[in-house]
Amino acid sequence: MEDIKRENLIAEPIGEYGVEYTYADYMKFEFEEMVELIRGKIFRMSPAPKASHQSVSVSLSSIIWTYLKGKTCQIYAAPFDVILPVSNKKREKATTVVQPDICVICNPEIVEEAGCFGVPDWIIEILSPHTSKKDLQLKFDVYEEAGVKEYWIVMPQEKLIEVFILENSKYKRVKTYAQDDEVPSHTLPELSLKLEEVFG
């Protein structure tokens, strides 16, 4: 029951009703917990991830980081602000600031010390009971609209990865990969990840 209550809190916005918050507001927030800004609404982030979430995150990050060593594309892991110019390209007016579990960015010009102002090429979200609704619905729509070319949804409990690629401004589901599969990256065509190495 506590998990259900927490998931509802994560999936529901907080803040003043009817107010559209911006990146300028986000920089002034003083919440005790971490939050994300999605289309002008404030959403709580999950509490500390469980061990399975952390293990998968470290495995994925390690494999991708090793492959990208010395290359232009770079990998970044949460906490890392990604300011998506969905509806307004002025930084301070942006209404979406997210912290993907993992993102790969191939344009170094959009990366700054404060985070990324622009659209990552590849985003990976690792589901937890608290964030599944947000990652599967809200973030899916925002990433699609912003133009994130490749989106992976990783399910640690089920040991599955669902892959989407952007075609004609809409996400097309490529496949749901199971534990014994090898998952190719569309962003990095020479990279394939063995799921037995990801999930252990």
The pLDDT assigned to 50 comes to 80
The pLDDT assigned to 18 comes to 66
Residue 104, in any domain of the structure: yes
Query: Does 84 score more than 80 pLDDT?
Result: yes
Residue 36, in any domain of the structure: no
If you compute the radius of gyration of the chain from its CA atoms, what whole number of angstroms results?
16
Model pLDDT for residues 101-158, shown as the tens digit of each residue: 999 999 999 999 989 999 999 999 999 876 667 778 889 999 999 999 999 999 999 9
Residue 174, in any domain of the structure: yes
The pLDDT assigned to 130 comes to 67
User: Which domain, by its residues, includes 129?
Assistant: 49-199
Residue 35, in any domain of the structure: no
* pTM attached to this predicted model: 0.89
**CATH label of the domain that carries residue 59:** 3.90.1570.10
Model pLDDT for residues 2-51, shown as the tens digit of each residue: 343 334 344 556 766 668 999 999 999 888 788 999 999 998 887 767 88
Domains contained in the chain, number = 1
CB 133 within 8 A of CB 38: no
Residue 151, in any domain of the structure: yes
